[in-house]
Copies of this chain bind each other. A is one copy, B any other.
Amino acid sequence: MLNYQLDKTFAALADPARRAIVERLVSGPASVSELARPLPMSLPAVMLHLKVLEDSGLVTSRKEGRVRTCRIEPKMLSQAENWVSERRRMWERNLDRLGAFLDETKPEDGE
């Protein structure tokens, strides 16, 4: 389940337009037309990207009157962050262990 969610979250982040939308939404909710304005593509293209972001759980949206407002879902952002951070830390721990091992096996000065 989490694995499947991570697939979708990382795939959603693998596109510059979708990252631009996430980047805009982390500073607050926005309407679809506000999100579309700076992007060099048609409104239907933006809506397809929003669909990928919503399917991944990174973004939620709600129609209020005639305006659809989009919001970031910070939980999914944290899950992606945690996955990568934990692997980066594992790599560093492994490097530390290797360093300690090399220190232990290094002959003492003067021996």
A interface residues, Cβ below 8 angstroms from B = 3, 6-11, 13-16, 19, 22-23, 26-28, 72, 74, 77-78, 80-81, 83-85, 87-88, 90-92, 94, 98
Contact = CB atoms under 8 A, between A and B. Distances in A.
A72 B85 contact: no
Given A10-B14, A11-B14, A14-B11, A80 B90 contact: no
**Taking the full assembly, how many copies of this chain does it contain?**
2
A85 B87 contact: no
A85 B83 contact: no
B7 A14 contact: yes
Contact of A90 (B10, B11, B26, B91): B26
A72 B84 contact: no
A15 B14 CA distance: 12
B26 A94 contact: yes
A87 B90 CA distance: 23
Contacts of A78: 88
A104 B90 CA distance: 43
